Structure 1
Amino acid sequence: MRLKVLGCGGGIGSDSHTTAMLLDEDILIDAGTGVGTLTLDDLLRIDHIFVTHAHLDHIAFIPFLVDTAGSLRDRPLIVHALPSTLACLQAHIFNWHIWPDFSCIPDAAHPYMRYEPVTVGEAVALGSRRITPLPACHIVPAVGFQLDSGQSSLVFTGDTTADDALWEAINQISNLRYLIIESAFSDAGQDIAARAGHFHPAMLANELNKLQHNAEIYITHLRQGEAEVAMREILAGVTRFSPRRLMSNQIFEF
């Protein structure tokens, strides 16, 4: 498997894009503004989008992707997410008010887009690749994903805060190689982080003590203006690992 980071910022501007990752050539893990860095040929190769949750910074470019590529494809784009996330997309985005309902365009029998619900702990097999939703704790229903090539795994937590169920699931992954985990605020914003269902460095340092594997750890979702401070706080607090900042265009092969 080959994962390319298209966007991993806590906002936009100055080359920062929100969360989106391209797995091989045909799968998106979230579809934030980072999708806008792809060419039309790249967009046409995407067959699946796995969505962690319904917040705009993770789904903003699904409507543009379907609108751009739908009529040029011979099969629907499949959106995989929790049932509650899919219901949110249907009710609030693809509702004919914000955007057309591409699940019935050009007609219900030949849609440009199809919804596929996922269940925590149940892997979706795409050839030899297995993508498994993992527990997450956010202010809306959310999941992370284990991406398993068969040789090794990468875990992306999505947006989450402290959650013992997440660590229990991660610690059962015997071939874990990479962990991408968020810290959306510095410690100065810990009150906001608590209300918004995000990590901040002190909390993240404490939670990483629950990780039983020797994985490479990368920090995502850092906010502009706080990223350097937050990384310093993370590095000062984490003693067992050496976390690194996730960067756009970074590539993982596993």
Structure 2
Amino acid sequence: MQIKILGCSGGIGAELRTTSMLVDQDILIDAGTGVGNLSMDELLKIDHILLTHSHLDHIAFIPFLLDTVMGIRAEPITVHANKETLETLRLHIFNWKVWPDFNAIPSADNPFLRYNEVKLGETLEFNGRKFTPLPANHVVPAIGYHVDSGEASLVFTGDTTVCDGLWVEVNKIKNLKYLIIETAFSNSELALAQLSKHLCPSLLMSELASLAMHHTHNAVEIYITHLKPGEGESIMQEIAESHLAFAIQALKQQQKFHL
């Protein structure tokens, strides 16, 4: 299994793109502005979109993707998300006011957009590739994902702040190789991080302290995502000064992970 980072920034500007990951050729995890860099051939191969939550930086390119490939490919695209995220898409995006309702196009009986509700702990499997929703703690109902090829695993937290339930599940994973975790703000913005339910380096430290020792010994690679534009260097410097017992790097667009 290959995971390619299409976007991992907390905002836009110049080359920055918001959150999206391409799994092999047919699955997206989130669909932020990074999707816009895919070619037409690549867009046509996407069958599934797994969402962490409903915020615009994670869903912005779903409408454009559907509009672009409908009529060229015959098969529908399925969006997998928690109940609240699906309801937000129905009410506020695909409502004929912001965008056409692709769940009723070309007909309600044969829609181009299909919705599938996911629940914590219930694994989705696509040709042997497993995706299990994980707990997250954000200002809207949110989840992360445990991605498992069988050989190795990657955990993507999505947007979250302190979340004890996340680490209970992560510490059960025996083949964890990569952890992608958000840190959106610097320590000087602790109050904003807490209000918006994101992490800053001091909060990240407390969260990573919950990782079981067997993950430390197995040298899990940790990557920081959702860095606020213009603050990436200072955030990563603050993380480096924390002297955590892990190899921690900033996630990069176009980076690839193999499981």
Q: What is the TM-score normalised by the length of structure 2?
A: 0.97
Question: Are 1:232 and 2:237 an aligned pair?
Answer: yes
Q: Counterpart of 2:250 in structure 1: which amino acid?
A: R
Q: Counterpart of 1:223 in structure 2: which amino acid?
A: K
Distance 2:141 2:70 in 1: 28
Q: How far off is 1:191 after superposition?
A: 0.6
Question: Are 1:14 and 2:14 an aligned pair?
Answer: yes
Distance 2:162 2:249 in 1: 20
Question: Are 1:79 and 2:79 an aligned pair?
Answer: yes
Kindly provide the CA deviation profile for residues 102-154 of structure 1, in whole angstroms up to 9, marking residues without a partner as x.
01101112211100000011100111111000000000000000110011100
Match of 1:164 in 2: 164
Equivalent of 2:255 in 241, 246, 250: 250
Q: What is the TM-score normalised by the length of structure 1?
A: 0.99
The root-mean-square deviation of aligned C-alpha atoms, in Å, is: 0.7
Q: How far off is 1:207 after superposition?
A: 1.1
Match of 1:24 in 2: 24
| Stretches of structure 2 lacking an aligned partner (at least 5 in a row) | none
Distance 2:72 2:243 in 1: 48
Q: How far off is 1:239 after superposition?
A: 1.9
Q: Is the 8 A contact 1:235 1:242 kept in 2?
A: no
Q: Is the 8 A contact 1:205 1:238 kept in 2?
A: no
Kindly provide the CA deviation profile for residues 61-98 of structure 1, in whole angstroms up to 9, marking residues without a partner as x.
00000110122122110000001100001000000000
Q: How far off is 1:238 after superposition?
A: 4.0
Distance 1:111 1:199 in 2: 38
Distance 1:228 1:234 in 2: 10
Distance 1:54 1:238 in 2: 34
Distance 2:17 2:192 in 1: 22
The percentage of aligned residue pairs carrying the same residue is: 54
Instruction: Show the 5 A alignment for 1:97-246.
Output: 97-212=97-212, 213-214=215-216, 215-246=220-251
Distance 1:234 1:112 in 2: 44
| Stretches of structure 1 lacking an aligned partner (at least 5 in a row) | none
Kindly provide the CA deviation profile for residues 162-182 of structure 1, in whole angstroms up to 9, marking residues without a partner as x.
010000000001110000000
Q: Is the 8 A contact 1:136 1:160 kept in 2?
A: yes
Distance 1:150 1:164 in 2: 25
Match of 2:70 in 1: 70
Q: Give the SS at the match of 1:237.
A: coil
